[in-house]
Structure formats: C-alpha cells, structure tokens
A and B are shown apart, each in its own frame.
Chain A
C-alpha cells in the first residue's frame, strides 16, 4: 500500500497473547502473560514503558474496573501513566485509541495495551439487582432477550432478504474452524463439518449452538510506540496503525441494536445514508486514506456465523446481499480474494470481551509481518478489524505495512 504506510506516527512494536480457553484462573495472570509476550516481541523492557492502558473487565471485581493499574502493579510499579477503558466488546479498540492519541500528541513514547478476562459459563447476563431504568436489565426481564437472540434476528433477516441458508451459516463455521487449526492461541482447534453444525441444538432459530461463539478466558496485548522509538528499536518496515475508528451511531439509529428494546424513530429525521455498522468501517477507511478494495485481510467479530457475513458487507468487502456468494466461492478462505478471520475468529476463540479487539490487532500484526504460521495470508500488507460494543461503541482498526 503506497501512500498509507509511513504517515501514521504509531508503530505496532510488539504483540502477544495468552491462549484462549476456560482456564478458571485470574484475569491478571492472563494479562501479565500476554503483556510479557508483547514486550519480548517488541524488545522493550517493562521499565521503559511510559503508558499502560488496560481494558476493563466488569466480571472480576474492583481489580477489573481498574485493569490498567492492576496490570501495572502486577508487572511491578514503574511509574508509568495509566488509563483504563471500557466499551463492552469494543473495549480493546478504545484502549488502543487512548494509547495512540497520547503517542500522537507526543505525551507518551512507549505504550502497553492489555485486555484480559475470566468469564462465567453460559449466556452472558446482566449484573444482579433490580434496575428498571437499565435497558440491559429490562431486555431480560421484559423480553427474555439473550445475546444470541439479537444475532438470530440478523441471521433470519439475511435468510428472508438475501436467500441465505443454514448451510451457508454452517460454512462460515467450517471455514473458521479450518483457519484456526494451526493457531496456538485458539481455544477450539478441531475441524467442524456442515453436518456437525446442523446437528447441534438450535439455540435461537435459525442459529444452532455451533453458529454461536462461546465465552472464554484469554488475554491479548500490544506495544505501541512512536516513530522515534521505533527508529531507536531498529524496527525496519514495521506494522503501523493507520486508523482506529471508535465512532458512535448517528441519530436516528434505525437498526435494532443490542441491548436496546427499540430503534430510534425516523419520525423527525430520515435515516442516514449509512447504518451504524457501515459507519464504523467507513470512518476507519477515511482516516487511513484507503478503501475496502485495498484490504488484503480482515478480522471481523463473528459472534455468530451469520454476523461474519453482515460485517463483510458493512466493511464494503462486497455489496449488500453478496456475502454468501463470496463465501460459497471460497473467496473468504485463506488463499481466496479476501480472507476473513484467518485467526479462526470467535468461532475458534470464544469471546473474552476486553481482550478480543486487541486479539484482532495481534492477528493482523502477525499476518502483515508474515508470521502467521499455518494460516498465513500471502503478501498481506493492509488489514482491517471490525467489531461493535453494545450501547453504541464502534471498533475498527486498520494496520498497514
């Protein structure tokens, strides 16, 4: 990608993860593991880090609310500046954006961004207590509306509007399962067949259990540095952050969104040109000065198999209603025109909320460096991530090399 690299001012010096799983240990342990991996990958000493940004976890008590300082203390207080971000599933992108902004402002030189989680079994559910003014509580109490039910609404719409089939959705799982086979950090590393998916229980029609991602423990970390620091580290041709999109929706938000009970109305103002999800990628492309046609590889948030197809269109990787054709033609498989989720995606990882958007960036960094052993997208120079956190959090990162 000529014209893109070199002007971002923020370099991905190192990346690292703790393998995803259901380990049942402290999120701090996972986070420290990932942080040390990322620091070693960057060749940066912890003592030289001048900013730590943590992705908050809301399921691990106070230490989780102040994740940034929790990780800093666990690594040994070094006096670094600290921040903690929370944006639901978009937490990692917001944490990366915070680090990037301080580096671009010249306030920080070497930033460590860490997200880690320990998750309970089963449906993610709201915190305890009666909260009649909290949409996330009301949707369970009044509607019994779980996360997979939102995913199922989008999936059903694809079927009725574009002729998607359960076999198409299953094919996304089959592809991602194959992609993740060689990924040491993936939780599920096993081939899955279309028949396996269709034989698994229907959770919320039309989605089967194997169409829906699990919740996992895991951690991911990146070391972001300034151009000057990258030069000091002797990083030649490094991976750069070309854009981070953390946009919110634009009123009226006319597509139903988790965890809300209704959309905005278009009574006073007509719906805009782009949906919220379309605006997330558009903002990233605009910032990076590229278009979807420049993208070599994408990591998108496949909370369900069908959502991967939605994201492909939301990112402009194909026209509306054409994701199934690309999938069927093998174009989104490694070796195809635009490989999607070469890491194996959430299908192979399961979701560790505050770590997930950072994990997407780790994967793209490995892909652009040509280090994604067993799942390499050959010659990839431009990658995009996409993700969305509930309550209106956009998340898209463009990396270039």
Chain B
C-alpha cells in the first residue's frame, strides 16, 4: 500500500497484517476457550468456566470451507461499496471457514475469486486486502483465498 493516507484495518485488533496475516482471537486463560471476533467481555463464554481473563492469540491461517455464497446484489448500509459512484456492482463471494481450532469464521473471499473456485471442504488461506476506501483512507479486512490444489 503506497498511497497516502495509509491503509488501516476496518476494525482494530481483529487480524494482523504483514506477509503472514492471521486472525486474532481472545483465549480464556483458564479453560482455553477461543472467541472471534475478540471480545472485551470479562466472562468466559464457557458456562462451566469462571475465567475472567483473556489473552490475544493468533489463529491458524488455513482452514476448510464449511460453506460459501456470494452477494449478487449490493447489500444495504452500513455496508460501504468498494466501487466508485456510477461503476456497476461487482458481486463478491463469502465463505464460512472451519479452522483447526474448532470454530467457523465468516469472511469475504479474496478479490478475483468466486463460488466457482470453492466447495465444501476445500482449503483456503487468510489474506488481507482493501475492503473499501472512506474519509480516513483505505480500510483493510481479512479475506479467504483459495489454496491452489
């Protein structure tokens, strides 16, 4: 990203950037339960755990598709469309991805890929791309990219 102003994550603290980006989960220090998106809540989600402290941990960068779909119509606000005004709507794909840690995370599919590139159980890897540009500059998000088999 060479443009100015610099790119910033659409939500702070959900994923790391760089060559090997990863999702950040909150892990209960008592029972090991993992929560994504990471929560500021004090109580552990495990009903049999009294833990009140969480630490940030990186999740596996690769997972398997639980299912996938796409948006062939532009979603309503607060969605912010990536295209400039007057440009036609370009559908994007979305995948629910099962990570080895035992949770399924929804994410858009990387630019240039559609549902035809995915099926249940195919492998994907986390990447970080620009979601849209707003008044503060480009806003980045995590996405799932098919792994060439």
Interface residues of A (CB under 8 A from B): 122-123, 125-126, 130, 132, 137-146, 149, 152-157, 160-161, 201-207, 251-252, 254-256, 260-269, 271
Identify which of residues 9-65 in chain B touch chain A, using a CB-to-CB cut-off of 8 Å: 10-11, 25, 27-28, 31-37, 45-49
Chain B residues near A202 (CB-CB < 8 A): 72
Chain A contacts for B119, CB-based, 8 A: 160
- At the interface, yes or no: B131 with Cβ under 8 Å from chain A? yes
Residue among B45, B48, B102 having the largest count of chain A Cβ atoms under 10 Å: B102
Within 8 A of A (CB), among B61-101: 66-73, 75-80, 92, 94, 96, 101
Docked complex Cα distance between A132 and B80 (Å): 14
- Are the CB atoms of B71 and A149 closer together than 8 Å? yes
Query: A142 is contacted by which of B96, B103, B131 (Cβ under 8 Å)?
Result: B131
Show 11 A/B contacts (Cβ-Cβ < 8 Å), sorted by A.
Answer: A141-B10, A145-B75, A149-B94, A153-B96, A203-B72, A252-B33, A254-B102, A254-B103, A261-B36, A262-B36, A265-B103
Most chain B CB within a 10 A radius of its CB, from A122, A160, A161, A207 = A160
Q: Give the contacting residue for B45; candidates A125, A140, A141, A251; CB below 8 A.
A: A251
Least CB distance from B90 to A in Å reads 12
Q: How far is the CB of B6 from chain A (nearest CB, A)?
A: 19
Interface membership of B147, Cβ < 8 A: no
B133 at interface (Cβ–Cβ under 8 A)?
A: no
In the complex, A255 Cα to B102 Cα: how many Å? 11
Give A304 Cβ to nearest chain B Cβ, in Å: 11
- Chain A contacts of B75 at CB under 8 A? 123, 140, 144-146
Query: Which A residues are CB-close (under 8 A) to B77?
Result: 125, 140
Beyond A156-B67, A261-B105, whether A125 also contacts B76 by CB under 8 A is: yes
Contact A141 B78 (CB under 8 A): yes
B-chain residues with CB within 8 Å of residue A146 when the two chains form the complex: 71, 75-76
Contact indicator B35/A265 (Cβ below 8 Å): yes
Kindly list chain B residues whose C-beta atoms are within 8 Å of the C-beta of A154.
67
Partner of A261, one of B34, B76, B106: B106
Given A125-B76, A140-B79: 6 more A-B contacts, CB < 8 Å: A140-B78, A145-B106, A160-B119, A254-B103, A264-B35, A268-B28
Tell me the nearest residue of chain B to A251, going by C-beta: B47
**Contact count band on B:** 35 or more
Closest to A153 in B: B67
Q: Report yes or no: A268 in contact with B80, Cβ–Cβ below 8 A.
A: no
Give the distance in Å from the alpha carbon of A370 to the alpha carbon of B89 in the complex.
50
Is B7 engaged at the interface, CB distance under 8 Å to the other chain?
no
Contacting residues, chain A, for B73 (C-beta < 8 A): 203
The residue of chain B having its C-beta at the shortest distance from the C-beta of A161 within the complex is B120
Q: Find chain A residues with CB under 8 A from B48 CB.
A: 269
The tally of CB-CB contacts under 8 A between chains A and B is 143
- Contact across chains for B102 and A145 when beta carbons are under 8 A apart: no
> B34: which A residues are within 8 A, CB to CB?
265, 267-268
Question: How many Å from the CB of B104 to the closest CB on chain A?
Answer: 4
B145 CB → nearest A CB, Å: 16
B69→A149 contact, CB < 8 A: yes
Within 8 Å by CB of B106, from A140, A206, A262, lies: A262
With both chains docked as a complex, state the minimum distance between the C-beta of A225 and any C-beta of chain B, in angstroms.
Answer: 37
Q: What residues of A have a CB within 8 angstroms of the CB of B47 in the complex?
A: 251
Question: Does B94 lie within 8 Å of A143, measured CB to CB?
Answer: yes
CB-based contact A142/B102 at 8 Å:
no
Q: Kindly state the separation between the CA atoms of A33 and B106 in the bound complex, as whole angstroms.
A: 42
Contact A144 B108 (CB under 8 A): yes
Shortest Cβ distance from B40 into A: residue:
A133
> With the chains together, A379 CA to B40 CA distance in Å?
55
A142 touches B33 (CB 8 A): no
A153-B67, A156-B67 known; A265 vs B101 contact (CB < 8 Å): yes
Across the interface, name the chain A residue whose C-beta is closest to B72: A202
CA distance A271 to B98 in the complex (A): 14
Q: In angstroms, how far is the closest chain B Cβ from the Cβ of A144?
A: 4
> Scoring B residues 110 to 129 as 1 if CB is less than 8 Å from chain A, else 0, what string do you get?
00000100011100000000
In order of increasing CB-CB distance, the 7 nearest A-B pairs are: A266-B102, A152-B69, A160-B120, A265-B103, A265-B34, A268-B33, A144-B75
Question: A153 to chain B: which residues have CB within 8 Å?
Answer: 66-69, 96
Q: Are A141 and B80 in contact (CB under 8 A)?
A: yes
Q: Which residues does chain A contribute within 8 Å of B67, judged by CB atoms?
A: 153-154, 156-157, 160
Q: Please, how many angstroms separate the alpha-carbon atoms of A146 and B94 in the complex?
A: 11
Given contact pairs A144-B92, A161-B120, A268-B49, A263 touches B70 in the complex (Cβ within 8 A): no
B10 touches A268 (CB 8 A): no
Instruction: Using CB atoms, name the residue of chain A closest to B30.
Output: A268
Q: Which residues from A are CB-within-8-Å of B70? A: 149, 152, 204-205
Contacts of B79 in A (CB 8 A): 140-141, 144
Chain A residues with CB under 8 Å of B94's CB are 143-145, 149
